[in-house]
Amino acid sequence: MENYFAKNLKYLRKERNISQTALAIALKISRSKVASYESRGVEPQLQLLISIAQFFDISLEDLIGKDIQTKVNLEGKKAIQPFTSELPSQTTEKPDGINLNTLQTNNLDNFLKESATIVKMLEGFKVFYKIKAESKSLEELTPEVRKAHHDIQNM
């Protein structure tokens, strides 16, 4: 079984608009470890893998054993398939030459992209409030955490 952990970790983090620093804080590890997991093929211990899977609300099997990016794209297309199958089978042309089938498919693609953006924003808020709840006061934070806090405040 191929290991997709590094690719999936980077994809999940970026899809949810989470910085390496914010993820490191949430997982209580260093930012450099997150970077090494994403780019150098370094794999964390099982307990940390479980924590990462829980953080992203994904199964451990999906985190390390499947190409999530491809899976998400395929599932999104399957989810819209029932709707697109109801579209007229013949090409429908408006008088000005616009193909309605193409237009409807493009609208569905845009809807999926915008939905993914909204999910990213909500995940970012989730991380923000989790970090904010764990922070007692800005003075008690380490410089690294203060910088992450500053980045979050200025989103």
The whole model's pTM is what? 0.48
Q: What would the pLDDT profile of 26-69 be if each residue is shown by its tens digit?
A: 999 999 999 999 987 788 999 999 999 999 999 988 888 888 88
For position 107, which CATH number holds?
1.10.260.40
Confidence of residue 115 (pLDDT cuts 50, 70, 90): confident
Q: How many domains does one find in the chain?
A: 1
Percent of the chain with pLDDT over 70: 59
Asked if 26 and 131 count as a contact pair (C-beta separation under 8 A), the reply is yes
Measured distance CA(67)–CA(148) in Å, rounded: 29
**Domain range enclosing 37:** 5-153
Pairwise pLDDT comparison (42 vs 75), residue with the higher score: 42
